Amino acid sequence: MDPRSSLTSRRRFMKLLGLLGVGAPALLRPRRLLAAGAEALDAMAPAPPWPKMAYRQLGRTGVRVSRLIFGCGAALSEGRADALLNAAFEAGINVFDVGTRRYYEDAEKNLAPFLKKTRDEIFLISKGILELEVKPNEAVSLPQAKAAAADWLEMLERSLAELGVEQVDAYYVMAADNPSLVSSEEMVNAFLRARAGGKLRFFGLSTHKNAQNVLEAAIETGWYDLAMLAITPAGWYDWDGWGVLEGTPSLAALQPLLARARGAGMGLIGMKAGRVLASRKWYGRANSKAFDRFYDEKLLNAELSDFQRSYAYVLEHGLDAVNADMQTESHLKENFIAAATSQRYFA
């Protein structure tokens, strides 16, 4: 060993012992020395590397995307978070999802500086939420559909301006809950005009309510490239009840429907996979073990948090990727590990 290396290591070791409060008298006591030394060596050890991100082709888009999508709405609505975005990008996340000012305040504007450096290397999704006074299962009139399509196009233009880009990869109809509107030719014609103008590449929707009927309508049209679904291991998420929708089929039972969507060329993205597990009061009563009955022994015994289990499960049961709202690096790492390693827990 190089003596200089040995000396440097010894100095670091002694410095760490000092930080631990271990003085010279303690070094005369072997057990204390061994314990202090173990702690010091642990402190010297580098943090374990993150696993390599897993990727999946996103439906008929032909694009290979990270199985974890960075949901930018909450993280960026009130300020920039460049360090967090850069950490995600450097780790291997290549999909960033944001949305209109109408819902996410300054999120698109705060994403723009990051996009200046990364736009050509990422898949960029944004979305516009419609203000349509129609109940989920009511038929949409032609004037209503025309107004909704025009509103969606106007939001797309504003999103492009806020993001500082000429094109997004995909633009969603956000919070779609009305199958009649999903099936409206006015909406698909709006998408086709935007695509012809080079403003977007793919058409998608996100749905929190009436999700099964919305997805079935989207499948029947054949128009939609992407669908982002509020779904959990137990089945559909209940947006109004902040839990699992009463009477929902389980995710396992929904496999034929998801297979039909994939067969129609749609890329499927999950959201709200672990929201039921959350402890924050505005998410309803937390139940950290809500999905355990759906897991096999291998997943239950895996060294994963309850949130990680829910993400791993949905990823291995029909979803191409999960969209996660991440506001700290520790949260990013937790979700990243689940998405990167989900295949390990399912033979």
Residue 46: Cβ-neighbour burial (10 angstroms; 0-12, 13-18, 19+)? exposed
Model confidence at 347, pLDDT cuts 50, 70, 90, reads: confident
The number of residues in the chain equals 347
Distances (CA, A) of 150 to 87, 186, 271, 283: 37, 9, 27, 34
Domains in the chain with CATH codes: 3-44 (no CATH), 55-345 (3.20.20.100)
328 or 37: whose pLDDT is higher? 328
**Ranges 36-40, 47-51, 224-228, most confident:** 224-228
| CA-CA-CA-CA dihedral for 232, 94, 171, 78, to nearest 10 | 80
Model confidence at 25, pLDDT cuts 50, 70, 90, reads: very low
Left if phi > 0, otherwise alpha if psi is -120 to 50, otherwise beta: which for 138? beta
Read off the pLDDT of residues 261-289 as tens digits, 9 standing for 90 and up.
Answer: 999 999 999 999 998 887 554 445 567 88
Task: Give pLDDT, residue 44.
Answer: 55
Q: How far apart are CA 100 and CA 81, in angstroms?
A: 18
Task: Give pLDDT, residue 28.
Answer: 39
Task: Give pLDDT, residue 7.
Answer: 35
Q: Does the pLDDT of residue 190 top 80, yes or no? A: yes
Q: Does the pLDDT of residue 6 top 70, yes or no? A: no
Residue 114, C-beta contacts closer than 8 angstroms, at least 6 positions apart:
82, 85, 86, 89, 96
Task: Give pLDDT, residue 14.
Answer: 43
- Give the residue carrying structure tokens 């009130």: 78
Model confidence at 48, pLDDT cuts 50, 70, 90, reads: confident
CB atoms inside a 10 Å sphere around CB 191: 23
Q: Does the pLDDT of residue 328 top 80, yes or no? A: yes
Read off the pLDDT of residues 199-251 as tens digits, 9 standing for 90 and up.
Answer: 999 999 999 999 999 999 999 999 999 999 999 999 999 999 889 999 999 99
Task: Give pLDDT, residue 288.
Answer: 85
Helix extents (H) in 78-163: 82-91, 101-104, 107-118, 142-163
Residue 271, C-beta contacts closer than 8 angstroms, at least 6 positions apart:
71, 206, 228, 229, 230, 231, 322, 323
Q: Residue range 296-317: average pLDDT?
A: 97
Read off the pLDDT of residues 74-107 as tens digits, 9 standing for 90 and up.
Answer: 999 999 999 999 999 999 999 999 999 999 999 9
Q: Where are the beta strands (DSSP E) in 130-210?
A: 168-174, 200-207
Nearest one of 219, 214, 254 to 235, comparing CA atoms: 254
Task: Answer whether 187's CB lies under 8 Å from 148's CB.
Answer: yes
